[in-house]
Every structure is written in C-alpha cells, then in structure tokens.
Amino acid sequence: MSILVTPQTRVLIQGITGSFGARHARLSLEYGTQVVAGVTPGKGGQRFDERVPIFDTVAQAVQATQATASAIFVPPAFAADAILEGVDAGLDLIVCITEGIPAQDMIRVKRAMEGRPARLIGPNCPGIVTPGSGPDSHGGCRIGIAPGYIHRPGPVGVVSRSGTLTYEAVWQLTQRGVGQSTCVGIGGDPLHGTSHLEVIRMFHDDPDTQGIIMIGEIGGSAEEEAAAWIAAHGSKPVAAFIAGSTAPPGRRMGHAGAIISGGKGTAAAKIKALRAAGVVVAETPAVMAETLLKLLG
C-alpha cells in the first residue's frame, strides 16, 4: 500500500501547456501515471500531446474526468490562485511544485484552507511518488518532478523538505534492494500545506510502511514537532538526516525556509530533539538508507 496516492489515482495538471508542466506531464505519462486532464485557461477543448484533454477550469476538469489530485506548475504570481481553484473544485490532494510564491499569498491560502477537506503538499517541492510494480517502478503514481526510475515498491516511507536529498535517499534504498511505499517532498518554503509530522502519522497508519526516513533542514520547528509526536506515539523505526549543520546563521540557504533566525532552527537543536525521541540521525547524507536499514535489521 501507500499513503496519499496509489497507482490508480487520477491526476490533473494545472499549467500543463507551460514548458515545465508539459515536460513533467510527459514524464508522468511515460511512468504510467493516470494523468487524466490538464488545465490551462484559454486552451479548453484542446488536447495535450493528442492524448490528455485540456480544460479552462479545474472544476470542469474534475467534472469530466473525476480527477482527485492535481499537480500545479503555474508561475509563482498565479500559484496561490491555482491552489485555491483546486480547493474550490473539491480535489482531495493538491501538490504545488512552484517555487517562489510570496509568503503573504501562502498565508492567505493556508487561512482559506482551514476547515476544508483538501490537502496541500508543497509548495516548492518535488511532489509525491508511489512506486509501481513494473520495470524501474513503472506504473506508479508520480505527481511532480521526481525521477521515477530511481524508485522501487517496498516498505520504506520517505518524507523530506528537499528534492535532491529525497532522490539521494530513495536511490540509496533502491540500490540496496529496498523499496518505498510512498515518497513525499513537503517543500522548502517557510509555509507549506503538509508538515513532517502529518506525513509521519500517515506512514504510521499505513500497514505496509515498516520504516521511515525523515529528511529535514535548518529553519522553523517542524522537525522538533515531529520529534515530539514520535516520542509520544512513534512505533515504527525512523532514521533522519538534518541538512545545514554548517550553514551560517541569518542566511537563507537556497530554500526560502532554510534560515537560522534569532538562534532558532539550528540543525543541532533539531538533531538533539530527534535523538531524544529515539530517532537515529544519520551522521552524513551518504548513510541515510544504511542508518534505517540497521534499525530494520
């Protein structure tokens, strides 16, 4: 099994005709993901690659194709609107890949989503992969920009704020013959839809996830909140890595959310909280999979 998405999940892509969205729509289709619709205002009625119907609005796409999840590839200035359109259309899951959304847009989006059933992943994230059972994990659900072939189906859940570090962890697992239930990139922005803690709870509730790799980085307190929950309720092995031990305070390290401010959000504090919760923290990013596999025995 998996969390959030399965190979059957019907996916629509907001911004399917932009170069970024089109490229990754094609890669998802090649991976065998059920990409059933695209949305580009003004291009309703056309087809993407002569294959996927394009709609003017998300509501039309949902009605016509029963899509339940979306990937957003629209530019930052329009991304908040795209998320809210997805929420309004009744989607279960919205994965926002877009990087560079103004913080105040995300404050409004988060406020508007309070009490609504839709779940947001991201923004500024690589998305979600539930690997499939075909060759190179073909036939899985790939929403976003992660390379599909590095995955294989299996028992490990991966949750991370960083894209390439997620791929790194997944690749380390796959090379050791260990597959993944679902891999979730929650994004590198200070405000995001879904936290480490929420994903870890889902992995705990998923009977087929036997171990978890959690990748965090400097900034904020999401890792500490996850650690507190794990200390109280955790029953599955968790290995972690926190990036940014050597990052200077007060500087944004690429991700908008990766900043130590006012002495808060350091890697040392996060590592300490995780260790206190019984999480084994990998010494280096090269041994993320190894660290978890030792726990799984």
State how far the Cα of 187 lies from the Cα of 168, in Å rounded to an integer.
Answer: 16
Are the C-beta atoms of residues 73 and 48 closer than 8 Å to each other? Answer: no
User: Under rule CB under 8 A, which residues in 29-48 are in contact with another protein?
Assistant: none
> CB under 8 A: which stretch of 37-45, 84-92, 199-207, 221-229 binds another protein?
221-229
Position 11 contacts another protein (CB under 8 A)? no
Q: Is 217 in the site for another protein (CB under 8 A)?
A: yes
- The answer to whether 234 contacts another protein (rule: CB under 8 A) is no
Tell whether residue 116 is a contact of another protein (CB under 8 A).
no
Is 256 a binder of another protein (CB under 8 A)?
yes
Distance of CA 210 to the CA centre of its chain: 19
At 7 the three-state DSSP class reads: coil
The helix or strand, by DSSP H or E, that contains position 288, with its residue range, turns out to be helix 288-296
Give the residue among 222, 219, 226 at the shortest CA–CA distance from 257. 219
Q: How far apart are CA 99 and CA 194, in angstroms?
A: 16
167 makes contact with another protein (CB under 8 A): yes
Q: Among residues 214, 218, 239, 292, which is the contact residue for another protein, using CB under 8 A?
A: 218
Buried b (16+ CB within 10 A) or exposed e, 144-160: bbbebbbbbbbbbbbbb
* Residue 283 binds another protein (CB under 8 A): yes
CB contact at 8 A, 55 and 79: no
Among 145, 197, 238, 292, binds another protein (CB under 8 A): 145
Q: Which stretch binds another protein (CB under 8 A): 10-18, 130-138, 155-163, 272-280?
A: 155-163
CB closer to another protein out of 206 and 217 = 217
The CA-based dihedral angle spanning residues 248, 253, 258, 260, taken in that order and rounded to the nearest 10 degrees:
20
CA distances from 177 to 136, 155, 258, 293 (A): 12, 11, 32, 11
Q: Are 91 and 104 in contact (CB under 8 A)?
A: no
Rounded to whole angstroms, the Cα distance separating 89 from 206 reads: 27
- Which of 41, 44, 90, 285 touches another protein by CB under 8 A? 285
**Considering only 37-45, 131-139, 197-205, 278-286, which stretch makes contact with another protein by CB under 8 A?**
278-286
163 near another protein (CB under 8 A): yes
Amino acid type, 60? Q
Residue 245 beta carbon to another protein: minimum distance, rounded to whole angstroms: 5
Residue 228 in contact with another protein, rule: CB under 8 A: no
Beta bridge partners of 160: 185, 215
x-marked contacts with another protein along 49-88 as a string, rule CB under 8 A: ---------------------------xx-----------
Does 275 engage in binding with another protein (CB under 8 A)? no
Enzyme catalytic residues: 255
Nearer to another protein, 25 or 253 (CB): 253
**Contact between residue 155 and residue 118 where contact means Cβ atoms under 8 Å apart:** no
In the complex, the residues that contact another protein under the rule CB under 8 A are 27, 76-77, 100-108, 110-111, 126, 145-147, 149-150, 160-168, 171, 188, 190-191, 215, 217-222, 225, 241, 243-248, 251, 253-258, 262-264, 267, 283-287
